[in-house]
């Protein structure tokens, strides 16, 4: 059986390990590494899900506010402006203002969404891949 230069200390002395033991040790290390990566991915997904949920709540609130505002402002604004301009033009002016406000609130919610998912996991996997390549060379 082939022996490699991997050495371990047993009772204060160095012992050369057979190839099978080295392969077993690498396999165990890879399994542990994969388990750690899965744990990291789960934790990161949970964190980003919470951030995504916050963005979704803000977007939903923006939609509800936009619809409520659209209804109220169309009614009141059109009636108020209809006294100084034709009713169709008053409705158009009020609608443009309400949609503009909705767009601003919607953009604020959209800008808070997660943009780069699993940043830590991807970085860690890249580092692990580089380590593995160096181990196999």
Q: What b/e readout covers 60-71, taking b as 16+ CB neighbours within 10 angstroms?
A: eebeeebeebbe
Which pLDDT belongs to residue 10? 52
For residue 23, give both structure tokens: 């392969």
Q: How far apart are the first and last CA of the chain?
A: 21
Q: What's the pLDDT score for residue 23?
A: 76
Taking the domains of the chain in order of start, what are their residue ranges?
A: 3-136
Residue 77 token pair: 């604004």
The span from the CA of 34 to the CA of 29, in Å, is 9
Look at residue 85 in the predicted model and tell me its pLDDT.
Answer: 94
Print pLDDT tens along the chain (137 aa).
Answer: 444 444 445 566 666 767 777 777 887 888 888 888 888 888 888 888 887 888 888 999 999 998 888 788 778 888 999 999 998 898 888 888 888 988 999 999 988 887 777 788 888 888 888 888 887 76
pTM above 0.75, yes or no: no
């Amino acid at each position: 059986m082939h022996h490699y230069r991997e050495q371990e200390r047993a009772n204060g002395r160095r012992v050369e390990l057979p190839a099978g033991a080295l392969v077993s040790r690498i396999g165990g290390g890879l399994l542990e590494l994969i388990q750690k990566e899965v744990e990291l991915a789960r934790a990161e997904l949970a964190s980003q899900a919470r951030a995504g949920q916050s963005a979704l709540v803000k977007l939903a609130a923006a939609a509800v506010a936009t619809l409520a505002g659209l209804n109220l402002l169309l009614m009141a604004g059109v009636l108020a402006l209809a006294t100084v301009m034709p009713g169709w033009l008053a409705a158009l002016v009020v609608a443009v203002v309400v949609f503009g406000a909705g767009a601003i609130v919607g953009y604020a919610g959209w800008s808070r969404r997660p943009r780069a998912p699993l940043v830590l996991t991807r970085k860690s996997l890249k580092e692990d891949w580089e380590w593995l390549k160096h181990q196999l060379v």
